[in-house]
Amino acid sequence: MTLHMVKLCVGAEDVGDLEAWQARLMKTLPAPVHRTRMVPKQIDKLLDGGSIYWVIKGVIQVRQPFADIRVIEDRGGRKACELVFEPELIAVDPTPKRPFQGWRYLKPEAAPADLKQGSGGEDIPPELHAKLKDAMVW
């Protein structure tokens, strides 16, 4: 059974910031990687077609499929984790998400749908799209 993850993209103002950060990483690495102190207990489900859903400015805006999840040791010898992603960022239906620490599991039925090209939604700023959706206007 597939499981997803949702995580805040701290410091990013928009999807372009996330793209730029990952482009810098891929100058020295073959794929985008994010290190985290907590190791997911359900790695198999995340790797079975799961994605990370990035929250930027209080809105889930894009997702990235997992390529791998590696359990590593940090500099202090403690267990840590490297989340490895496919390079492509996939736009999703902008969905408001309140702040939280770390990451959370996200069940497939609760995950925002991918935005279809040509649907008109890709031209609206994500924050506005989320507010319109929340007001049931979209």
So what's the pLDDT on residue 119? 52
So what's the pLDDT on residue 116? 83
- Which of 125, 5, 129, 110 has its CA nearest to residue 64? 5
What tokens does 26 get? 């891929």
- Over the chain (138 residues), the average pLDDT of each successive run of 10 is 96 95 95 94 97 97 98 92 97 94 96 79 59 55
Task: Kindly report the pTM of this predicted structure.
Answer: 0.84
So what's the pLDDT on residue 79? 93
So what's the pLDDT on residue 132? 58
Helix (H, G, I), strand (E, B) or coil at 63: strand
So what's the pLDDT on residue 29? 95
